[in-house]
Amino acid sequence: MWSTRCRRTSPRTRTWHGSHARCAPRRGRDDMPVLVITGTGTEVGKTVTTAAVAAAALAAGRSVAVLKAAQTGVRPDERGDADEVARLAGAVTTAEVARYPEPLAPGTAARRAGMAPVHPHEVAERAAKLAAEHDLVLVEGAGGLLVRFDAAGGTLADTAELLGAPLLVVASAGLGTLNTTELTARELRRRELELAGVVIGSWPGSPDLATRCNVADLPEVAQAPLLGAIPSGAGGLSPAGFRTAARGWLAPRLDGTWDAAAFRTREAS
């Protein structure tokens, strides 16, 4: 458990119990148990990480909602990322704010499809409504932190700021991840947003030298704890197998049993 200011200018304080973030207002606002999940880029394991966090929270007895801010590259009749989270994690409430057919950044996909873009305040409003009915709301972004939602340059970071919510950053394991992770963390600090920690979204069975070294270096460049490592191929497990294993991939702050020190000793030595 730890306690931080939601923002330096905010009158609220946040206390975490496992994955349950509570913004305790001093002026009558309800608690807002929202965790925003972003990545250092595309294809880093955001969806499977979101599913693992959801599965661990469900195992801890929490009610969970998963909100996809903007789903791209999926037709109206196809399953999206939130559906995949539900398949793997179990009984979660799922929602999307917007869906676009081409696999592009949301702002670009909306423009090319001639569809209305999603705006940060719309994502925040939907998350707030879900938070009124669930113990935990996971908001999964598209791509990285600063991928644009609309022509005005709105991003997932703006949504997190509107919510006063912490962010979990999903990073790749191998060469190049230190740069993208540090850039993401620096932007969060510049905006005075809380970085809850980093999860490695796909840990290989046979890590190379750079990957092993990154276990020690990621928390340093992020200035935030390493909160888990999802094994490569985890999304291919059966739902029952995924739910059974998920807590072992995540730290206690995310309702798991994963031990960062033991992982570092085993994998990085």
Active site residue 68: yes
Please pick, among 14, 46, 68, 126, the residue that the annotation labels catalytic: 68
Which amino acid type is present at position 226?
A: L
Tell me the C-alpha distance between 269 and 253, whole Å: 25
> Two tokens at 96?
């999307």
* Burial (CB count within 10 angstroms: exposed 0-12, middle 13-18, buried 19+), residue 249: buried
Q: In this structure, how many other beta carbons lie within 10 angstroms of the beta carbon of residue 266? A: 10
Using only C-alpha atoms, the chain has a radius of gyration, in whole angstroms, of 17
Q: What is the DSSP string of 151-195?
A: TT---HHHHHHHHT--EEEEE-SSTTHHHHHHHHHHHHHHTT--E
Spatial neighbors of 262 by CB under 8 A, at least 6 apart, are none
Please give the positions annotated as active site: 68
